[in-house]
Structure 1
Amino acid sequence: MPETGAQSLAERIEALFRTVRRPDRTPYSNEDVARACRDASGETFSATYLWQLRTGRRDNPTKRHLESLAAFFQVPVTYFFDDAESARISEEIALLSVMRDAGVRDVALRAVTLSPDGLGIVRDLIESIARREAERQPPAER
């Protein structure tokens, strides 16, 4: 679930690392991303520098570094600056991440053939189940 409110640059980069994965669902390492950014931009971009950006120890990257990160994670560079755009993109990334799960993908593919009324019933069922599961969670986890 995407976070609400303004996020720091480090939080936005970290969110990309948490949700954008390799095809086999394993996370990218700092070195993987730094290497791809070096190759794309021709700029110096080390795994240590990326770690510093992810942890907030550095927070003023060059425009080319942000463009390289945006290209690697396939998001517009505005993701790093615009709160509304960042929130919208975070929601899309989270949805895509969930859709990669085989069970969710299977349900979505089957739903394509349903009528609008049938889709409404499925949506209502999912919302009802989600509410019930949320009510079962201990208060500290809600």
Structure 2
Amino acid sequence: MERMRQRAAGGISPAATLAEKVEWLIGNMWPPGAAPPRNNVETAAAIAAATGEDISSTTVWKLRTGRQDNPQLKTLTALATFFGVPIGYFGFPVEAAPIDDDLTFQALRREVDGGSVRGEVLRALIDLSPDARRLVDEMILAAARADRARLAGAG
């Protein structure tokens, strides 16, 4: 459910903070074979086990809360490896928009594979006329804005 809320809010912006990017990865790109983390200790343990890089729960906490915005390259490399994203996702000089779009599509594909988004709906978009696609775009964006407003009011 949390993944759907974050996705409803849209993909991550290239201008997002490191903390926002780390949160987005944890919520949207957690590896399918790894048990979802319940806390920073489990997050750090999963990353360390998968990458061999010793990362502490304190480091994860600092990254998630924005208290550390300039981590060591080895920490960013471990995160990139674990989540299967290019190191450029974290702000190294590469073209950020295509990376973010690609990650959004990867996260959406997981939702299709997981059954919460029906693949036939996405395939039907291909057959729509450009005008009909624009209408669907507007409806989706309006629904996302309404959902964000609802979630902000509930929090």
TM-score (ref. length: structure 1): 0.68
| 1:57 has 2:67 as partner | yes
Letter in 2 for 1:18: G
Alignment of 1:1-142 (within 5 A): 1-4=10-13, 6-23=15-32, 27-29=36-38, 30-39=40-49, 40-43=51-54, 45-82=55-92, 85-99=95-109, 100-101=111-112, 102=115, 103-108=117-122, 119-121=126-128, 124-132=131-139, 134=141, 141=149
How many residues are matched? Answer: 132
In the TM superposition, residue 133 of structure 1 has moved relative to its aligned partner by 5.6
SS of the residue corresponding to residue 74 of structure 2 reads helix
Distance 2:91 2:11 in 1: 16
Distance 2:102 2:56 in 1: 28
SS of the residue corresponding to residue 59 of structure 1 reads coil
**CA RMSD after TM alignment:** 3.4
Name the larger-Rg structure. 1
- Gaps of at least 5 residues in structure 2 are 1-9, 150-155
Percent identity, aligned pairs only, is: 29
SS of the residue corresponding to residue 12 of structure 1 reads helix
- Gaps of at least 5 residues in structure 1 are 112-117
Compared CA separation, residues 62 and 133, structure 1 to 2 (3 A)? closer
